Structure 1
């Protein structure tokens, strides 16, 4: 444990955070930048005395639980969290479960793609961010409970008669096989995460098809480069499918684009205007 470096790191991280960043009032007579020590202690659920001793390089070795609480209180990035653990002499272990936190820069990127439908999925195929055109092309994810935003669950256990062909897509067979392969790799990375193991158990119990593909132990997925959505209002839309891996968050961005000048591009433009409203409802 490097007490001096740990103390300096904690002070530096504390001073960069404003009370507004964590929902606290600024209040009068704030003589130092950032948060007060007692505010960090409150956010981390530890005593002010213990946190003060950490910043004074006088505290005993913090537990992993305390380090996790400090990481949340100080809004540390993944790299900063790992650094904090190393300074405390407790090298970080693997993350407990797939990250669902989407970087703001990624959210901004989705909004800057007006002619493309784009979604961000977690390691378990949960849709965790999307732009307006994706909501129009696929569905309005904002009205769905979190459980129903998981594309693997929807494919194998959805209530729709042909649930596996999500949104009328042409690559249903390839998607279900790829999603199982990806989920198997995810389960290996997060063997102790209850959400991951619970999802796998639920799918094994509820779908013979999932159980059969799972039993094959395949982990090499083939990319889908082109697919067709059969939209209920504008008809078939053929798009290219590009996938960007966000390795530090174990997430992926799916970007769907239509060929310029094609009828699918015209349909995408129409969807960007109409959005998620139904076109067959009289005004």
Structure 2
């Protein structure tokens, strides 16, 4: 498109989304056909003023993290995401690196799964998106850094603050460490040009004897259903089943917590869930 800028593309992409696409209520009498700037800013974790300046062409050098966050919020396809990077004067994410892109179909599914605590992770096990129920059950990770939202670090280096704001007791996750190490080894093969993966592996080998042993042994493992008890500060213990789901054609995986209907755990989860919003939240920068 002649004369297209990042600002014009953002407006076009924003106009094609409805509030329901991102899990927002579609209130009667709404004038805007698509998302409001305020809604996009909230979804992308940016200030409204910055989104306005981007659309008006007054902010011309957004970072790659900002563009990636906007691409997730706007539910862009991979080719559109790459186009957004080029319009921002950036190189698109290279093949062979870990993708932070969450497919639009996964995002639409998350927006309709607000009742369930669900987290979306990248191939290096960094948390990218989460439902409101995840935030109220596990703790809101919005202001955490990428490093503190990484499950590998949480499991092997004890950095649980990024993924859980309060204690979590693992009942039967004996195979989780092996499965995570196996995943990381696969990611290293699948993403040979990613500079952060070797750095993460070196960091974990240096800081965790358990990780180093599993890595040197060539550990293999698979994710199975497990049970965890979250010591929630508002309602006490909530015991959940935890499952890891993969997305065909994508590197992302979903971690889903569920509870038995009619149980005390379900009542406690419902009590804290109703305090949450009604849409998925993306990692914010």
Corresponding residue for residue 120 of structure 2: 120
Is the partner of 2:254 in helix, strand or coil?
A: strand
Shift of 1:81: 10
Normalised TM-score (structure 2): 0.60
- The answer to whether the Cα contact below 8 Å between 2:98 and 2:191 also exists between their aligned partners in 1 is yes
Is the partner of 2:257 in helix, strand or coil?
A: strand
- The answer to whether the Cα contact below 8 Å between 1:226 and 1:238 also exists between their aligned partners in 2 is yes
Corresponding residue for residue 8 of structure 2: 20
Report 1 or 2 for greater relative contact order, CA contacts < 8 Å, sequence distance ≥ 6: 2
- The number of aligned residues is 204
Could you list the per-position Cα deviations for residues 60-110 of structure 1 after superposition, in whole angstroms to 9, with x for gaps in the alignment?
xxxxxxxxxxxx9xx98447999xxxxxxxxxxx92211111133322322
Corresponding residue for residue 220 of structure 1: 221
Separation in 1, partners of 2:9, 2:157? 40
Report whether the alignment pairs 1:140 with 2:128.
no
Separation in 2, partners of 1:16, 1:249? 29
Is the partner of 1:120 in helix, strand or coil?
A: strand
Report whether the alignment pairs 1:247 with 2:248.
yes
- The answer to whether the Cα contact below 8 Å between 1:115 and 1:257 also exists between their aligned partners in 2 is no
Corresponding residue for residue 4 of structure 1: none
Shift of 1:177: 2.4
Normalised TM-score (structure 1): 0.61
Shift of 1:232: 3.5
Query: CA distance change for structure 1 residues 166 and 216 in 2, over 3 Å: closer, same or farther?
Result: farther
Q: Which has the larger radius of gyration?
A: 1
Query: Which 5+ residue runs of structure 1 have no aligned equivalent?
Result: 1-10, 25-42, 44-71, 83-93, 277-283
Could you list the per-position Cα deviations for residues 3-61 of structure 1 after superposition, in whole angstroms to 9, with x for gaps in the alignment?
xxxxxxxx7xx89999622469xxxxxxxxxxxxxxxxxx9xxxxxxxxxxxxxxxxxx
Query: Which 5+ residue runs of structure 2 have no aligned equivalent?
Result: 13-59, 61-70, 83-93, 278-285
Q: Which has the higher helix share?
A: 1
Is the partner of 2:197 in helix, strand or coil?
A: helix
Report whether the alignment pairs 1:158 with 2:146.
no
Query: CA distance change for structure 1 residues 113 and 148 in 2, over 3 Å: closer, same or farther?
Result: same
Q: How does 1:239-278 map to 2 (within 5 A)?
A: 239-275=240-276
Q: How does 1:177-216 map to 2 (within 5 A)?
A: 177-216=178-217
- The answer to whether the Cα contact below 8 Å between 1:170 and 1:229 also exists between their aligned partners in 2 is no
